[in-house]
Amino acid sequence: MSERSPIQQRAGAALVSQARTGLVVMKFGGTSVEDAKAMLRTAAIVGGRRERGLSPIVVVSAMAKVTDQLLAAASSAGRGDKAGALAIAARLRNRHIETAAELLRGDLFAEIEAAIRKRFDALDDLLRGIAAVGELTPRTSDHVVSFGERVSSQVVAAAFAQHGLNGVHVDARKCVITDDHYGKAVPQESAIEAKLSELVLPLVEMGKTPVLGGFIGATIEGIPTTLGRGGSDYTAALVGGGLHAGAIEIWTDVNGIMTTDPRICADALRVKTISFEEAAELAYFGAKVLHPATILPAVQKSIPVWVLNSHNASNEGTKITPTAPPCASPFKSIAAKKKLTIIDIVASRMLMTHGYLKSVFDVFDRFQCAIDLVSTSEVSVSLTVESNAQLPAICAELSKIADVKFEGNKALICMVGEDIRGQSGISGRVFSAIRHINVRMISQGASEINMSFMIEESDVNEAVRSLHAEFFAEPDPTVFDVEARAVAAKA
Ligand code: ADP
Ligand code: ASP
Ligand code: MG
């Protein structure tokens, strides 16, 4: 066996004895709660877990596309377009009421309809306030966007109550305590653990199914925050970690973690088992199927995470485990991260003197701007960052110590697999598969399980398909669902 990686060592140090094996945290993404039909499908999946004697705690996203629409309403209001903002909010109000009407009857419908109207009245007031000031701060943006998960979780909880699952709504803002870094707040894990024990555990012990909105939290003073886009997965991991659950299930709209994004490559195959470390790397480098921060709380408590398909619940999905199974294929999956910018910093006069790189990194630190890839030569440093509005200011600051230029519309391709450790000849195969594509920066990650390089954003689909054809033509059937490909070929 190879040496245990830091992530595996943390998993090994977990407090396994504290695990509540009957508890399962089930997170359902936007498409799994997009309308009444999807919510009923979700109820059936949760009911199935209860029939097996498990105690589910459910985390839901906003209904599909609602977060984007709330952000659009917030920015319209921020531009002073009150009518535009309120029109979006009115459509969202109707969509939620219509969904509740399809799912609920009698007093329960009346109660939830009133609650939805109250929430949307509050949202309208908030949007009017933003439009009057004509300015949108990250704090008010989080407040606006929090309505998506607050309302979806209420409707889902009521649907679960109506359909025999003892559903009960829990306000995530009371449990998920964060700092005040609006837009990407940092969860305070010990406070969350205490709140979950106080507010969620007693409900489980009473045989209820608690339903929380994902993605949202609040500061200790109760001001709404969000965990970053796609953050409901993170909520699920925080809840699972905080309660020492036996399993965390991420229910989405594909069969699991696939060999690449099936939207880019129709041939993508389900990966049956993947290690925490591989999944973390993939998520960080752009595989949207999992939020990058999801893994850590699960790793710390050694909780297995499953990625499953709510549209195809009988599929086994992907199991994420502390150690990877032996695999004859070098890579498990290919991720692509778009909207990146390359910054070239040339310090011709001073060469790379001691402390020079520190002063470069300090600038990024001051702007709280994360760097993905770095390559250095004697006189230059090239870095990649997510494209963002602060880049001109960052570059102006850097130009005090060097010549700087930056170029957007770049993408990072990241190929992940524990089995590339120590294998020679892999990079030759990678670059010959994409020899027709212009490659900018190349890096073999410090974790030794990824190989990454930068290309033009417009080349992403072509590069991913070529690499997929090279490395997944004959994949190891113990790790990849090749049966699905055989079925598709026959059809
Ligand atoms: P949810 O709303 O359930 O959180 P997301 O849209 O955030 O769902 O994530 C699921 C999507 O992630 C899939 O529909 C798929 O297009 C995309 N995706 C990207 N990379 C992968 C991958 N390696 N495996 C599976 N899905 C992927
Ligand atoms: N609704 C949020 C988003 O769209 C969080 C999530 O779905 O995970 O980003
Ligand atoms: Mg997601």
Q: Is the dihedral of CA 29, 300, 49, 113 positive or negative?
A: negative
What pTM value is reported for the model?
0.92
Q: What Rg, from alpha-carbon coordinates, does the chain have?
A: 24
Give tens-digit pLDDT for 12-70: 444 444 789 999 999 999 999 999 999 999 999 999 999 999 999 999 999 999 999 99
Question: 27 alpha carbon to ligand 1 midpoint, in Å?
Answer: 14
Q: Which two tokens stand for residue 445?
A: 């990650």
Q: Is the pLDDT of residue 172 over 80?
A: yes
Ligand 2: residue of 151, 215, 225, 227 to mutate (most ligand atoms within 8 A of CB) is 215
Residue with tokens 């598969």: 433
Assess whether the C-beta atom of 146 lies below 6 angstroms from ligand 2: no
Which DSSP letter does residue 478 get? T
Burial of 386 (C-beta count, 10 Å sphere; 0-12/13-18/19+): middle
Burial of 132 (C-beta count, 10 Å sphere; 0-12/13-18/19+): exposed
Residue 149 CA, closest ligand 2 atom number: 1
Look at residues 389, 260, 409 and name the one whose alpha carbon lies nearest to residue 336. Answer: 260
* Ligand minimally distant from the alpha carbon of residue 415: 1
Q: Is the pLDDT of residue 108 over 70?
A: yes
Assess whether the C-beta atom of 61 lies below 6 angstroms from ligand 1: yes
Return the residue whose CA atom lies nearest to atom 2 of ligand 2.
Answer: 230
Assess whether the C-beta atom of 317 lies below 6 angstroms from ligand 1: no
Average pLDDT over residues 436-458: 86
The CA distance from 211 to 172, in Å, is 9
pLDDT at 478: 93
Give tens-digit pLDDT for 313-367: 999 999 999 888 888 889 999 999 999 999 999 876 555 567 788 888 999 999 9
* Ligand minimally distant from the alpha carbon of residue 147: 2
pLDDT at 348: 61
345 DSSP β-pair partners? 381, 404
Average pLDDT over residues 296-308: 92
Q: Give the confidence band of 446 by pLDDT, cuts at 50, 70, 90.
A: low
Which DSSP letter does residue 29 get? -
Ligand 1: residue of 261, 274, 305, 464 to mutate (most ligand atoms within 8 A of CB) is 261
Q: Give the confidence band of 447 by pLDDT, cuts at 50, 70, 90.
A: low
Give tens-digit pLDDT for 360-393: 899 999 998 989 888 887 778 899 999 888 899 9
Assess whether the C-beta atom of 29 lies below 6 angstroms from ligand 1: yes
Assess whether the C-beta atom of 330 lies below 6 angstroms from ligand 2: no
Using left for φ > 0, alpha for ψ between -120 and 50, and beta otherwise, residue 422 falls in: left
Write the CB contacts of 310 (distance below 8 Å, at least 6 apart in sequence).
Answer: 28, 29, 31, 32, 38, 41, 42, 45, 251, 252, 253
Burial of 375 (C-beta count, 10 Å sphere; 0-12/13-18/19+): middle
